[in-house]
A and B are shown apart, each in its own frame.
Chain A
Amino acid sequence: MLDTVKKDWFFNVKGDLLAGLVVALALIPEAIAFSIIAGLDPKVGLYASFSMAVIIAFTGGRPGMISAATGAMALLMVTLVKDHGLEYLLAATVLTGVIQIAAGYLKLGSLMRFVSRSVVTGFVNALAILIFMAQLPELTNVTWHVYAMTVAGLGIIYLFPYLPVIGKLLPSPLVCIVSLTIVSILLGLDIKTVGDMGQLPDTLPIFLWPDVPLNLNTLMIIFPYSLGLAAVGLLESLMTATIVDDLTDTESDKNRECKGQGLANIGAGLMGGMAGCAMIGQSIINIKSGGRSRLSCLSAGVFLLVMVVFLGDWLKQIPMAALVAVMIMVSIGTFSWDSLRNLKKHPLSSNIVMVVTVAVVVASHNLAIGVFVGVLLAALFFANKISRFMVVKSADNTASASRHYKVIGQIFFASSEQFLKSFDFKEVLDHVTIDLSSAHFWDITSVSALDKVVIKFRREGATVELIGMNEATNTIVDKFGIHDKPEEVEKLMAGH
């Protein structure tokens, strides 16, 4: 037990604390920005980020990953907040947590294997586009000062790291925020600040049961939102976990992560915070800054709260333009630019899946729907590809007016029609042999197609003989469930 504690928490204390500090500094503007996207007071996002980060540090399945209030989740709750208010959101957040814990126990984390690479890329790109689009209201109908500030902010963020020595020590988003705040105070600019967007935290968060009537009506209101939040939260968290796995060359426990996200969301809801999940951008920042263990996420949460509570008066003065600059950086950093370069290299079907996922998300503002469509499309493309792995060979024997058909390959719903077409029913035959020993029948559509072939030949007056029927029907895997026996799988696939 003590060994695991050491392995998960304390093998890299200095790196983790430093990274935690950097992440906390980067989390503050994001948490404020995401609360504003959802139409909430900045304190809701800040409390959420604190509670999520602290709870997930203990309960999560992926050390070194950062969870907090996120844009993907904020975008889903906009209408709930607008129509029903904060308390319903808190209740929905708690319910989201419950659903995620259930998903963890049902081991739904393993469903991630159905989400193909192209869908993940589409999700990430759509998220980046949504975060960028959410900044646009701050940039329309404003004075030129705001544009100047935003451009200056982006300049600081991207050029500051190139300064010798100091560039690698101070987080450039922080430098951007601090310098823009000072400039706007000194010049007395009349531009929107964080203080104009709503209440900031002045106390530590307190434990409170959401003030909603506990009845069916409430459940009907919050359940659809919670379901979407739970799905998107788990998707983004598990995707981020995979990214962190790759970066650190270590393994994570996906189902534990599902339960951990659930507990963290319940905690966030009860502490007056909005629902959140793992953050791709922040996790990358954490790894880049040297964070590896659970300690970095815990310290990020604690640093965040300390800074927010004690620096509240200063936070109010931050101009929105500085936040917009930081969020544009986040969206640029989140977008997978490689995916654009790979468009030429990847097969058309993968590209279509990726682009459709992005398009659906951007149109619906719901990442869950986008991923669902993407997965569906990917499955269809896959079925189409596999259905081409089917040939029917034939050899005739004119002397005895008979024909021998040999079926090779995969027969299922997508290839059944092709299968039917492969037989020539017009030919006058006395005897037909169909060799099925190298064919794989996957579902009842294919079985009924076979029945149809036999019946048609019979109606034309031919006698039909099926060879290797047993091998062929054994492949309706549903019935036998042999997927976990390697020798059976080999037998099954030997037909190729």
Chain B
Amino acid sequence: MKNIIACIDGSSMSTTVCDASIWAAKHLDIPLKILHVLDKSEYPVTSELSGSIGLGSREQLLEDLTALDEQRSKLALKHGKYLLADMMERANQQGLPNVIKQQRHGDFVESLLDIEAETRLLVIGKSGEAHQNQTTAIGSQLESVIRSIKAHTLVAIKPFNEPTSFMIAFDGSDISLKLIDKAIKTPLLNGLTCHLVMVKDENDRTESFHVAAKKLRAANIDVLEKIIEGDIHSALVHYQTHNDIGLIVMGAYGHSRVRQFFLGSNTTEMLTKSQVPLLLIR
């Protein structure tokens, strides 16, 4: 059975992730699994610059480093257990009794890849412990997670409110038509109003725009069509705030890293600018 995987850490984003995943779990009616990864590479490295090695230096160093890691891991483990218990309690209060807790050692992205087969929807915060006080910053692992994991991903952004409508940015390409198909298939979006939005540029793509709207209507989804003007990302975010839309649906990292290096990435741009959660459909 596939699960919703909610990734939490010690940051304040975790409650947001938890709320978003509870909403998704209720909508999809599948079990929620809360995951806390103990990533050792996040520990700071200690150093002693004396540069000398004496009798039994190697054994001593191994003992010291092991003892240090042990202490940190025990603390992190305990901390993680409390976090998981907190989140579980929160889910229970909101009427979700069956929540699975899981703690794993290792690299965060690798841990997610290990359980990818049982992942239906991944819920992750926009940023974690390292950037929790910067509102615009996106987490250092977010892009690698999105690029590596091929499951739908819900990126939670503070604060989480249950969405009543969602927005799909449409650009007339084949990829965005496919995105529409996939969005129709996702039960998570059932009952939500769809704002199909296109940012106008020199090409005329109204025809495929109407095709897309028709598709959505055929699937019994309320559709509002809108063509707007301006800089793509700002215009989209502006439209979203203006119409109080609670969720943005988009594809993720359609292009190579090389292209991204030169041209920038729509996904990264939207992740940075958006004030509401994003659902990345794969």
Contact = CB atoms under 8 A, between A and B. Distances in A.
B178 to A, nearest CB: 26
B95 interface: no
A110 B225 CA distance: 62
A338 B56 CA distance: 7
B52 A172 contact: yes
Contacts of B41: 7, 11
Of the candidates B49, B57, B59, B257, the one having the most CB atoms from chain A within 10 angstroms of its own CB is B49
A168 B50 contact: yes
A253 B23 CA distance: 43
Contacts of A25: 51
B65 A158 contact: no
Contacts of B46: 290
A171 B50 CA distance: 4
A452 B237 CA distance: 89
Given A284-B57, A292-B45, A338-B56, A171 B51 contact: yes
A22 B69 contact: no
B1 interface: no
A168 B48 contact: yes
Secondary structure at the A interface, as helix, strand, loop or mixed, is: helix
Of the candidates B46, B47, B144, the one having the most CB atoms from chain A within 10 angstroms of its own CB is B47
Contact of A338 (B40, B59, B65, B69): B59
A284 B47 contact: no
A332 B51 contact: no
Interface string A190-206: 00000000000000000
Contacts of B49: 18-19, 22, 168-171, 289-290
A290 B46 CA distance: 6
A318 to B, nearest CB: 16
B61 interface: yes
Contacts of B51: 22-23, 25-26, 171-174, 285, 289
B58 interface: yes
Contact of A337 (B56, B62, B257): B56
Nearest to A287: B61
Contacts of A285: 51-53
Contacts of A172: 50-52
Contacts of A18: 47, 49
A276 to B, nearest CB: 19
A247 B67 CA distance: 11
A243 B58 CA distance: 8
Interface string B64-95: 01100100000000000000000000000000
Nearest to A167: B50
Interface in A235-251: 243, 246-249
Contact of A333 (B48, B53, B65): B53
Nearest to A174: B51
Interface residues of B, number: 25
Interface string B163-197: 00000000000000000000000000000000000
B250 to A, nearest CB: 22
B174 to A, nearest CB: 26
Interface string B109-122: 10000000000000
A287 B60 CA distance: 12
A132 to B, nearest CB: 14
Contact of A3 (B47, B52, B65, B144): B144
Contacts of A247: 58, 61-62, 65
A15 B40 contact: no
B59 to A, nearest CB: 5
Interface in A283-301: 284-285, 287-292
B263 interface: no
Of the candidates B40, B55, B109, the one having the most CB atoms from chain A within 10 angstroms of its own CB is B55
A161 interface: yes
Contacts of A370: none
A280 B62 CA distance: 14
A1 interface: yes
A329 B56 contact: no
A285 B48 CA distance: 9
A179 interface: no
B144 A333 contact: no
A246 B47 contact: no
B261 to A, nearest CB: 8
B48 A289 contact: yes
A216 interface: no
Given A173-B52, A330-B53, A337-B56, A290 B65 contact: no
Interface string B26-49: 000000000000001100011111
A25 B50 CA distance: 11
Nearest to B53: A333
Interface in B197-223: none
B264 to A, nearest CB: 14
A214 to B, nearest CB: 41
A193 to B, nearest CB: 22
A12 interface: yes
B52 A289 contact: no
Contacts of A161: 50, 52
Given A19-B49, A290-B46, 5 more contacts: A160-B50, A161-B50, A288-B48, A330-B53, A334-B53
The 7 lowest CB-CB distance pairs between A and B, nearest first, are A290-B47, A171-B51, A333-B53, A161-B50, A22-B51, A172-B52, A15-B45
10 contacts: A22-B51, A23-B51, A160-B52, A168-B48, A171-B52, A246-B62, A247-B61, A333-B57, A336-B56, A337-B55
